[in-house]
Chain A
């Protein structure tokens, strides 16, 4: 950069116009009113009369700046505090309220969902318990039924067995009682054939005695 500054210094010797203008800026205000010099430099944009030195220190412009600053800043402040900021603030508040409301609503719905889930689970476990109970009951009743039927069948069977046994015993007894008779008849027939005669009463007594022996 230092190099280019030196170059500017050199340039000023070759091109007097701009370099003079730079110097005039200080020299002109130094000498106060120098109409020829200022007119030449500032002719294009100069509207205010009195040539000024350093513009920020030019007291003649203070009143205008003061006035317009006061007006514009007062307008800015009033409109900002009355219109602009409340408008934006209300939007932000509204959005915040909306988000909070939505969050609360979501919270509420979540609570409802949780409640529904727990109710469903309770119902499910209830149903499961009921199902257990019903199954147990059914099993019990079926078992009881089976038991009853088996018992009936067994009773029936044992009764029939007993009957059959009784019948067999009777038949046996009958048979046994017939044995004497048959033996007596047979004996009587044998005796009759052998002897030609037979007293049935004697035969029977003899048979009975033989059976006894």
Chain B
């Protein structure tokens, strides 16, 4: 414990559990694409494994009167299904598996991150960007597939005079393009900031304990760290919910462009 570095960003470090190899490049150090099974990958696998085990094993008995696990699996299902149905309508239920996958992946990955010494998958920008890009590309591709060129009406709010359109449309385009940015940065920033704050308070505790008589005061940052942990659990669930709700809102735009 004492050997652990207490710098707050150490927890985000990616370590290679075993190497797969380097592809491309010219053989020199740092060139080419290096692939490895990392701790991040381990926790992605754990996340997916936990979700699927929870849902499939929980509902395996197919009981009419559910047991505890089955009830939880069904409540999760109903929660996401209601979210999708409320936001996108019955028509949007074809995206229910996507939204459920995104929601549960983010939720479980965030909650995994709340365990000490566990790696937080969603604290890495590349992961949240990919999550957001999945949504963005789904919206764009499905929007054009379903509506054709009419999908461009998503940039033109209805019922505004023509001379304002020239101002509004660029803003709408910009806001549309910034969606994946904000979508990914929101999740990443919340998770990252929360974990850094936790580690900063944790570091204060360690530093104060090492300072002899001042160690008594370490109860203050320790209490703060406990409170922040509670808040971060809330934020972990909240950001997963927000991610899923925003996904639904964007999908709604894909199905009904033109506000």
Contact = CB atoms under 8 A, between A and B. Distances in A.
Q: Are A and B in contact, CB atoms below 8 Å, in the complex?
A: yes
Nearest to B3: A44
Given A49-B29, A72-B44, A88-B74, A63 B212 contact: no
B36 interface: yes
Contacts of B98: 77, 81
Contacts of B78: 92
Contacts of A151: none
Consensus secondary structure, chain B interface: helix
B64 A95 contact: yes
Contacts of A48: 13-16
Contacts of B17: 47
Given A65-B41, A73-B105, A7 B100 contact: no
Contacts of A92: 74, 77-78
Interface string A59-93: 01111111111101101110111011101111110
Given A24-B7, A63-B35, A55 B56 contact: no
B150 interface: no
A3 B217 CA distance: 10
A12 B207 contact: yes
B127 interface: yes
A213 interface: no
A62 B208 contact: no
> Most chain-B Cβ atoms within 10 A of its Cβ — which of A5, A42, A61, A81?
A61
B214 A10 contact: yes
A91 B44 contact: no
A42 B5 contact: yes
B30 A50 contact: yes
A19 B203 CA distance: 9
Interface in B2-26: 3-10, 12-17, 20
A206 B124 CA distance: 172
A44 B3 CA distance: 7
Interface residues of A, number: 64
Interface in B78-125: 78, 96-98, 100-101, 104-105, 121, 123-125
Interface in B168-203: 188, 192, 203
A70 B41 CA distance: 10
Given A14-B211, A77-B97, A85-B97, A8 B204 contact: yes
A75 B34 CA distance: 22
B62 interface: yes
Interface stretch (B45-53, B230-238, B239-247, B248-256): B45-53
A85 B100 contact: yes
Contacts of A112: none
A151 to B, nearest CB: 81
B64 A69 contact: no
Contact of A84 (B10, B52, B220): B52
> Most chain-B Cβ atoms within 10 A of its Cβ — which of A54, A56, A66, A75?
A56
A72 to B, nearest CB: 4
B37 A68 contact: yes
B55 A18 contact: no
A85 B204 contact: no
Contacts of B141: none
Contacts of A91: 59, 62-64, 66, 70, 74
A58 interface: yes
B226 interface: no
Contact of A18 (B38, B188, B206): B206
B126 to A, nearest CB: 5
B152 interface: no
B221 interface: yes
Contacts of B217: 3-4, 7
> Most chain-A Cβ atoms within 10 A of its Cβ — which of B4, B7, B62?
B7
27 contacts: A3-B220, A8-B208, A10-B211, A14-B210, A25-B7, A25-B8, A42-B10, A48-B16, A50-B29, A52-B14, A55-B12, A56-B125, A57-B125, A60-B34, A61-B124, A64-B20, A64-B36, A65-B40, A65-B124, A68-B45, A69-B121, A72-B44, A81-B101, A85-B77, A85-B97, A88-B77, A91-B59
Interchain residue pairs A-B with the least CB separation, the first 7: A25-B7, A81-B97, A68-B41, A11-B211, A55-B12, A84-B55, A15-B210
